[in-house]
């Protein structure tokens, strides 16, 4: 692609993103809600063993480490166990080492990918996870009302906050062409189709420069394209044949830019919100964008929503997949299911009445 075309697309993407940002700010009052249904509770611990898993490439990782050390020292606790992820291991080995330490809480300092990998090991253990968001999207943190720009507050919440159980979900990925299969956890939104294409083709340099806005530039380049034929089964019901661009499986609904993409999605309701998107043209995408931004309640044939505890999608040709913003390979079949109230996390305390 020539430089001038890249610059033109970047400028158009920026204009689109600014309009999105401005629209969201104007409608801010309409989008403020809690993504959780039940109240949090006190941890009930006076002394804690703390393990910390940090992604060292994040710019604020040293600051986060120092803040955690200071807070534990001030509380009179033992020094935390610090474990760092690597390019080869995004947290699997570190999570196992943290569990061997027998901690009361595991703090995760990184982006959504690090949080997802660690949560996969902590789910169903009753060991609390504290989130110290250091990434670009930090979607789980946003969905549980953490201020992703306030590092000190997030460290305090991760160490001394209240607790609540949230749902996790798992996606089984099968590729009949290659014979590959795998299964992974996710916490926010997984998908198959266009969303995964965009994530795979986002410019890393642009992402470092402007954060989540970089996805908009990649999104505009991928909007033209054909729909794919798939079959969709919800909760072991009958198969539906659909032509789609993308299917999203949402555990919670707040996405980058502050947009409440799925207002009804709750992170502890034992259900997934499934969004099937099938626009034929740019006009269809614009109509869908307007519906999301304005929270219009009318039904759109090109954007249908379902609630389900288990979803199976089969496609004749491999389609890309993603988990919480990480690409997960191509699949000819995905099986997605919710695991209700399987992860204990630290959250801010409830306001006093």
Note the pLDDT of residue 1.
44
Bigger pLDDT: 267 vs 224: 267
Q: How confident is the prediction for the chain on average, in pLDDT? A: 85
Q: What is the pLDDT of residue 25?
A: 42
Query: Does 95 or 221 have the greater pLDDT score?
Result: 95
In the chain, what percentage of residues exceed pLDDT 90?
62
Band of residue 9 on the pLDDT scale cut at 50, 70, 90:
very low
pLDDT digits (tens, 9 = 90+) for 99-116: 999 999 999 999 999 999
pLDDT at position 217, please?
Answer: 67
Query: How confident is the model over 48-70, as a mean pLDDT?
Result: 97
pLDDT given for residue 206 in this prediction: 66
Range name among 176-190, 220-234, 239-253, 300-314 with the lowest pLDDT average: 220-234
pLDDT at 258: 65
Encode pLDDT of 13-37 as tens digits: 444 444 444 443 443 333 344 566 5
Q: How confident is the model at residue 67 (pLDDT cuts 50, 70, 90)?
A: very high
Beta pairing class for 310-323 and 105-110: unpaired
């Amino acid at each position: 692609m020539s430089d001038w075309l890249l610059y033109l697309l970047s400028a158009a993407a920026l204009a689109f993103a600014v309009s999105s940002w401005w629209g969201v700010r104007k409608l801010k009052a309409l989008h403020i809600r809690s993504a959780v249904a039940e109240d949090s509770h006190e941890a009930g611990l006076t002394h804690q063993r703390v393990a910390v898993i940090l992604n060292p490439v994040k710019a604020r990782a040293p600051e986060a480490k120092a803040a955690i050390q200071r807070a534990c020292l001030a509380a009179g606790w033992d020094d935390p166990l610090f474990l760092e992820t690597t390019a080869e291991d995004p947290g699997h080995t570190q999570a196992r080492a943290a569990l061997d330490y027998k901690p009361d809480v595991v703090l995760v300092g990184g982006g959504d990918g690090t949080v997802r990998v660690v949560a996969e090991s902590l789910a169903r253990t009753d060991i609390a996870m504290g989130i110290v968001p250091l990434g670009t999207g930090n979607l789980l943190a946003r969905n549980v009302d953490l201020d992703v720009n306030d590092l000190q507050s997030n460290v305090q919440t991760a160490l001394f906050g209240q607790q609540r159980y949230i749902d996790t979900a798992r996606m089984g990925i099968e590729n009949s062409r290659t014979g590959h299969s795998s299964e992974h956890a996710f916490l926010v939104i997984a998908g198959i189709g266009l969303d995964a294409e965009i994530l795979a083709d986002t410019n890393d340099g642009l992402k470092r420069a402007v954060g989540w806005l970089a996805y908009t530039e990649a999104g505009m380049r991928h909007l033209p394209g054909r729909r794919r034929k798939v079959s969709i089964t919800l909760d072991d019901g009958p198969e539906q044949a659909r032509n789609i661009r993308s299917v999203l499986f949402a555990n919670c609904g707040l996405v980058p830019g502050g947009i409440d993409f799925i207002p009804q999605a709750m992170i502890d309701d034992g259900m997934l919100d499934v969004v099937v998107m099938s626009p034929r043209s740019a006009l269809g995408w614009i109509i869908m964008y307007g519906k999301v931004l304005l929270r219009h309640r009318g039904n759109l044939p090109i954007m249908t929503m379902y609630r389900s505890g288990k979803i199976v999608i089969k496609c004749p040709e491999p389609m890309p997949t993603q988990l919480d913003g990480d690409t997960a390979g191509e699949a000819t079949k995905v099986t997605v299911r919710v695991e209700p109230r399987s992860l204990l996390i630290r959250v801010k305390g409830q306001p006093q009445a």
